[in-house]
Amino acid sequence: MLTPPVGLDEAVVAEAAARRWGLQVTLRYIAIGAGSYHWLGTAPAGARYFLTVDDLQDKPWLGADPDQVFSGLRGAFETALALRENAGLPFVVAPMPALGGEVGRRLTARYSLAVFPFVDGQAGRWGDAVTAHDADALAEVLAGLHQATPAVASRAPHRNLELYGRAELETALGELDRPWSGGPFAERARGELAAKADLVSGWLDTFDNLAARLAANGGLATTVTHGEPHPGNFIRTDNGLALIDWDTVALAPPERDLWMLDDGAPGALVRYSQLTGVTPDADAISFYRLAWTLYDIASYTGDLRAAHKWSRDSEKAWTSLRLSLEPDAAARPGPYRLPNS
């Protein structure tokens, strides 16, 4: 997130790091990413850590209320830790257990804290171009991840073919004829969604048709997936790619990860198939691409209908909503772009 969390003092984060993890660190807020808040923590001797605070009111795929979300978040982080320690996957950047062994701690009713090792390397960003070498390396990482399913099959959460935020999006589509008063971007969001309402309704119909087709296809594999292996969630290191942000880890068809490689780096899908013997399913690729676009629309619409003030994050939500409503948004390849492509 580009701005620190509302209603949470940085001193609370530092105190929890000291009391629960035994880390005396100086904090510096890092304005990156979306959905979580990040600080760089530096110890007196120079050791560095990455502290992440999650908003338990804003992760609908993990639960319907903060308690459920916190439970789901712990389950996801425990899965990541098992992938690193039990399955031996060195590219998994898993949370550091606290002194009591837990992977996360509740700070307030709304926020929780997890601590991660600091990874030296070149961090990517959403939408970054990647080299063919990067794409092949990521295909190898995903192949290793998916083949590690037996190590976490009993603990990893499951994801079905649900579209999170759909009810709220359909409510918004039904209230386009009345003013939205949540904040400075609310009316602009209403106007943009009204202009593209038929497009979004058509995407929802396509989503339902694809979901029905996949549900009827009992042959789709289920593997442990990261959920968001885009450039913003990997770090180029001297030892290869490292994957971060494991709150979306879940058992699902491998295409939940692989759609992001489709078209933008087709050779990477070939490499994945060579390593795993799995040929990606075209309908599943289309389904997860469309699900991503629709979830973005639902999420950004919800943010801008709700009470908000102008901030870098609300401005970003407005810009992102407009991009997600472009007619070709649901047909674009994943966020991997080869240079000059």
Is 213:283 a contact under the CB 8 Å cutoff?
yes
Question: Per-domain residue ranges for the chain?
Answer: 1-118, 122-341
pLDDT tens digit string along 236-252? 999 999 999 999 999 99
pLDDT tens digit string along 171-205? 999 999 999 999 999 999 999 999 999 999 999 99
**Predicted model pTM:** 0.92
Residue 214 has pLDDT above 70, yes or no: yes
How are strands ordered across the β-sheet holding 111-117? 26-30, 36-42, 48-55, 111-117, 105-106
Mean pLDDT, rounded, of the chain: 92
Superfamily of domain 122-341: Aminoglycoside phosphotransferase (APH), C-terminal lobe (3.90.1200.10)
Work out the average pLDDT over 94-108: 97
pLDDT tens digit string along 12-54? 999 999 999 999 999 999 988 777 999 999 999 999 999 999 9
For 1-118, give the CATH class: alpha beta
